Structure 1
Amino acid sequence: MIYTVTFNPSIDYIVRMPRLEPGAINRVTYEDILPGGKGINVSIVLSNLGHESCALGFVAGFTGAEIVRLMQTSGAKSDFIQVAEGMSRINMKIKAAEETEINGIGPKILDSDIEALYARLDALKPGDTLVIAGSVPSMLPSDMYERIMGRLDGRGINIVVDAERDLLVKVLGYHPFLIKPNNHELGAIFGVELATRDDVVPYARKLQEKGARNVLISMAGEGAVLVPESGDVIMSEAPKGTVVNSVGAGDSMVAGFLAGYQESDGDYATAFKMGVAIGSASAFSAKLATRPEVEALLKTL
């Protein structure tokens, strides 16, 4: 079973308009409401691919209830902790000549809520997969990633981490099954600029030396690279297509990798190919990609 954790889920209100004029009334030409959060995206894409998962995290208020409803509508299971105070955040994403985001705060999370999350994680079994993704909100301890991975250490659970800089580096000693920085995030860890697929390989190996088992690097238009624990390197150019919405493409790659890994009984090349296809398919779509879109792209790789 695959579980995902999103610490601060959101309702994403997405609008499009020709241009945004501050101080004036702006009328939109398109709008949509989606559940937001990196782990939530992974769960929805897994559902789109026909794989079961369960999304964990904290929700509150009427917006939290809507997140749960939207997850049900997408076919993805969830078991969120219902927080008593505050409401789940609303993030507004304005797509005009330039993209603008206005992000909400989120509910107040108590120690008892954190213990409730731990109880759900304690129920994971050997062979399960846990995806921890995104930033840690200010209402939680800054070392939440480390606390969770320390708690699950040695229990045979494959943990996937999709986070930036210190959040990622500090958990490498727990030997995560998969980490997925993009080339800019990888470069920021080491203070270098990484522009090509060949550039990222030695730095991916440095993360393996620190404890990561498999390192998957997304590179937008430059494609992607996988440095698996087997020692070889797998690369791919980016599939051809028009980018419509890059939000969720990296999360889709994680979901695709896990789906491909399960479907191929652990073949890294197949998992990588599926990850690249679903990541690109989501980027080429207004919403997170579906299985038919992925199958079409797989034929081009």
Structure 2
Amino acid sequence: MILAAGLTPAWQYVLVFDHLRTGEVNRARESRWFASGKAVNVALAVHSLGIEGRLVSFLGGATGAALAEDFESTGAAAEWVTSSTATRVCTTLIHSLAGETTELVENSPAVSPQELARYARAFTATAEKSQVLVLSGSLPTDTPRSYYRDLLAASAHVPALHSSGNRPANLVFDFRGPELQECLAFRPFLVKPNREELAATVGRTLDDDSSLLAAMRELNTAGAEWVLVTQGGGPAWLTGCGETWRVQPPVGINVVNPIGCGDSVAAGIAVGLSTGLPVRDCVSLGIGAAAANLEQMECARFEAGRARELAKGASWERVEGVTA
């Protein structure tokens, strides 16, 4: 089983416009509500790929109830940790003719120390039954920065967290900043920031590929077996084990909604890891899942066959003369 864990789910509102102009009245031609947030999307994508998974997430208020109902309607499984704080709402504006997406993100409000403690117990109980752990998303307001590190340390007995010799732990991380830096000592199989998130983690701008790769190798040195940086429709970069790869995503995708693509990458990698695939095949499956997600309005609800077909379209190029 794959555990998708995160503390900041979102009840997602999407508005689609043919024309969108700031400072004017804009009328949407389509609107949708659905469950989202990074860990929620990972769990949905794992389910879409046909692998057993379980989400551990907070849930609160009427928005949380709506999120749970929508999530469970897919057949995906979750362990909900109830909170007195209502689940946040995030809004996406899609300007279809211009091919532009604008996200209005509500920061996740604070939760109580008691609720954080209940989350930790739910995480550990589910992790004990899981082969791969995916930890993703930001922390709620006022949550200690060490929370992810403490969460993993308290679950150190879980087999998926064990690393030995040249074997990393069965961990996939998709979060950033000091929180990520503090967790690299657990030797994750892979960490998956985008360029902006990696810059926030190393504390400097990454204006070119050379600076990007240098920052990625810093995370490798600190404990990450592999580092994957995605760049939307542009090439992704993978570093680790003395190797550097540039990966072109498949072409000819019908772009509908880009929200959840990065989470679908993480899910595909976790699925590949759980079935013993080598890292390049794991990443290709993740890229295929992201491409399949891109063709859907609602996050991470794609056909497994389509994702696996698109994975074959990922183009790999080894970059010589650059070591991780």
Change (3 A) 1:104 1:217: closer
In the alignment of these two chains, the number of paired residues is 297
Any gaps of 5 or more consecutive residues in structure 2?
A: 161-169, 315-324
Q: Deviations over 1:201-221 (max 9, x none)?
A: 443222111111221221223
- RMSD, aligned α-carbons: 2.5
Q: Partner amino acid for 1:207?
A: L
Matches within 5 A, 1:115-264: 115-123=117-125, 124-125=127-128, 128-153=131-156, 155-157=158-160, 158-188=170-200, 189=202, 191-193=204-206, 195-196=208-209, 200-228=212-240, 230-242=241-253, 243-263=255-275
The alpha-carbon deviation at position 192 of structure 1 amounts to 4.3
TM-score by length of 2: 0.82
Q: Partner amino acid for 1:166?
A: P
Percent of residue pairs bearing the same amino acid type: 26
The worse-fitting range, judged by mean Cα deviation, of 23-32 and 156-165 is: 23-32
Structure 1 distance, partners of 2:145, 2:68, is 26
The alpha-carbon deviation at position 14 of structure 1 amounts to 0.4
Asked if the contact 2:132/2:274 (under 8 Å) is kept, the reply is: no
Asked if the contact 2:5/2:123 (under 8 Å) is kept, the reply is: no
Q: Partner amino acid for 2:17?
A: M
Partner of 2:116: 114
Any gaps of 5 or more consecutive residues in structure 1?
A: none
Structure 1 distance, partners of 2:213, 2:23, is 48
Q: Deviations over 1:153-183 (max 9, x none)?
A: 3543232211122222222122223210123
Asked if the contact 1:261/1:270 (under 8 Å) is kept, the reply is: no
Structure 2 distance, partners of 1:237, 1:55, is 30
Q: Partner amino acid for 1:224?
A: A
The alpha-carbon deviation at position 254 of structure 1 amounts to 0.7
Partner of 1:272: 283
The worse-fitting range, judged by mean Cα deviation, of 210-219 and 241-250 is: 241-250
Matches within 5 A, 1:281-300: 281-287=292-298, 288=300, 289-300=302-313
Structure 2 distance, partners of 1:140, 1:185, is 19
Q: Which has the higher contact order (CA 8 A, sep 6+)?
A: 2
